Structures are given as C-alpha cells and as structure tokens.
Amino acid sequence: MELWALITIAAAFLQNVRSMMQKYLKGAMGTTGATFVRFGFGLPFVVLYLALTLHFTGYALPALNAGFMLWALIGGTTQIAATFLLVHLFSFRNFAVGTAYSRTEPAQAALFALVLFGETISAGAVLAIAISVVGVMLISVARIDFSWRAMVVSTFSRTALIGLASGALFGVSSVTYRAASLSLGGPHFAVQAATTLAFVIIVQTVAMLAWIVWKEREELVRIRKAWKPSLLVGIAGASASFGWFSAMTLQQAAVVKALAQVEMLFAFATTIFFFKERVNRFEFLGCALIVFGILVLARFG
C-alpha cells in the first residue's frame, strides 16, 4: 500500500475520534465554540508537529510566497465555514440527511480541482468515488424512516442544502490546501504539509477567537469549562489534519477524500462494538459499498 493511503487511513481514524468528541461538545457549548476548539486547541500541537518535522528532516522552514498565502487563506476560510455548517447540522432533528449530503465532498473536490486547476482523475477513481459516496449516504440515512425517493425529493430541504454546502466548502478547502502545499515547491512533503497546516491553523484560530470576543463572548466561559474534552479534540484534530495535509501533498485531494470514506467504517465499528447497536440491512449494504469503492480505488484509481 502506498504511503499516502496509509497516512489517509490513520487520519480517518483520528478524525472519527475527533468527530465523536466534537459532537459531545455541541451539548456543552454553541456551534461557534464547538467549531473553534478544533482549531484553537489544536494549535499548540500543530506548532509542535512543525518543529519536530523540521528537526528530524533537517530542513529549514520554506519561504512563503503569494500563491501559497492565497490558497492557504481560501482553504482556511472555507474549512471554518464547512465545519460550522457540519456542527450546525447537529441542531436539526433529521441531521442525518444533511450529513449524508455533506459526504459528497470527494465528488465535489474532484469537480473543483478540475475547474480551478485543470486536474483530472482516472475513470477508476471516478467510479470508486461514486460507489463510496452512495455507501456513505446509505449509512447516514439507514436509521431513519427514509426512502431513496424521499431523499431525492428532499434535495432542496434546509438540512440537505446545508449538507451540500458543507461538502462543497470542504471540497474547496481540500483542493486549495493541496495547491498551497505544492506551491512551496519542497523541500519534503512532510515539511510542506506541516508548514501549510501551521499557517492555516494560526489564521483560523486568530480569526475565530476575534469573532467570539466580538460577537459571542459568552462562549469563552463554556470553552473554559470544557477545556479537558476540548484538549482531546485538539490533539485528535491536529493529528488528523497533519495526516490529511501530508496525504494531499502526495496525492490528488479527491482521491485522498475518496479513501477517507473509510472513516465511516471506523464510526460504524464504534457503534457496534462500543454501543452494542444492531446492524440493519442498509448499514450493512453501505459498508459493503464503501469497501468495494476502496477496492476499486486501489485497483483502478
């Protein structure tokens, strides 16, 4: 298995851990606070990753150029908005529908990569993305009274539109992060990834903290009270992000995000083995499709 694939699987596992903790935090604070902790509490660990990466590779910090800063700022801004929308979905009773549509990120990332940078992916990768997206959407709606016809009809519902917007913004952030990292021109993929991640998360933390102080100062009290679980979110989020940035420096964003759907299998396993919930046929079929999509990606992507 190629290095980018191993890194992606590890990042997907860590992101599953972070998402579980972030969902818990939504009950302790507002949407803005639960979004902020991903960045703010991850910042110290990202800086540590960068320092360790420079130390062990022996390379100096690469020079930042205008192209890097442009793409990194676009990626950072769209990721904040995408995360905010995704966390906001937890406020809706039928958030599963919106979450399902947010999982169209790999397909949207492929479209944005084509439009913005002229990047194309193989027919095998397109097929793998389509299969895995259908599988993820099946799992997302498996436990609600929902049909495919209703899902198509509800495409313009509020939760569906929020989910699609979240997936689109995550898609934009993925391809622009890759562009930012590649614009550094070296000296090593890990250094490029760590530098990009550090720059982005500093900007995100400052921007969100300024917003909270200006508009939602009461969130600071809630964040302070929940600092222990927030710290876990920061560690898991920073580790996952370092993995994503590294993988997307080595491989096209859409392909990385297609393999990243393995995160749903980790979430599914957590549901079965930790919460002892039973599996229904839609969840089983969804998992099978994700696995099949990954196999198609490995063979023909």
- Kindly write down the DSSP assignment for every residue of 202-231, as one continuous string: HHHHHHHHHHHHHH-THHHHHHHHTHHHHH
Find where tokens 């660990």 sit.
Answer: 45
Cα distance between residue 76 and residue 65, in whole Å? 16
Distance CA 273, CA 176 (A): 37
| pLDDT tens, position by position, 81-98 | 988 888 777 666 555 566
State the Cα angle at 182 between 251 and 7, rounded to 5°. 35
Q: What is the average pLDDT score of the chain?
A: 86
| Cβ neighbours around 74 below 10 Å, total | 18
Determine the length of the chain: 301
Inter-residue contact 252 to 178 (CB < 8 Å): yes
Query: In this model, does residue 137 exceed pLDDT 70?
Result: yes
What span, in angstroms and rounded, lies between the C-alpha atoms of 258 and 125?
8
Distance CA(243)–CA(14), nearest Å, equals 9
Nearest to 99 by CA among 59, 72, 133, 52: 133
Contact residues for 221 (Cβ-Cβ < 8 A; gap 6+): none
What is the mean pLDDT of the segment spanning 33-59? Answer: 93
Residue 280 has pLDDT above 60, yes or no: yes
Domain locations along the chain? 3-300
Q: Higher-confidence residue: 222 or 278?
A: 222
Q: Span 15-22, mean pLDDT?
A: 78
- Measure the CA angle with vertex 162, ends 159 and 168; round to 5°: 140
Bigger pLDDT: 156 vs 281 = 281
For residue 274, give both structure tokens: 């930790």
More confident residue, 196 or 285: 196
**Predicted pLDDT at 19:** 74
Given a cut of 80, whether residue 47 has pLDDT beyond it is: yes
Global pTM? 0.86
